[in-house]
Structure 1
């Protein structure tokens, strides 16, 4: 084999390997969700309400010890 044939064969082999590798790569698509994203904040609000009720209950018990 001559040098030209070897280089042509090497270039052809590299081109074939490149095209095979490119054709096998997965396609990734990024799409927005169909429904809007909701964030549930009920836990924080519940904790604030519970804290206020507990503070009020402590105040009521200290101000009126004969209730219970």
Structure 2
């Protein structure tokens, strides 16, 4: 009888420990700042100019 009460109390305590997950949207909108610098084309043009200069004047170095 004593073990039944103990078991009942333990089960009652475990029922109170129910995991709860909340998913809520933020109040403010999500903003993504897209400040991206693209310099790839500039570097290619400079590299081609340097190659042409070295091809024309091979005595620079």
Shorter-chain TM-score range: 0.5 to 0.7
More helix by share: 1
**Gap runs ≥5 in structure 2:** 25-29
If asked which structure has higher relative contact order (CA below 8 Å, sep 6+), I would say: 2
TM-score scaled by length of structure 1? 0.49
Task: Tell me the matched-pair count.
Answer: 57
3-state SS of 2:57 partner = helix
Decide whether aligned partners of structure 1 residues 54 and 28 sit closer, same or farther in structure 2, where only a CA change above 3 A counts.
farther
1:45 matched to 2:41? The reply is: yes
Structure 2 match to 1:5: 5
Query: How far is the alpha carbon of 1:13 from its aligned partner?
Result: 0.8
Structure 1 match to 2:57: 61
Decide whether aligned partners of structure 1 residues 28 and 60 sit closer, same or farther in structure 2, where only a CA change above 3 A counts.
farther
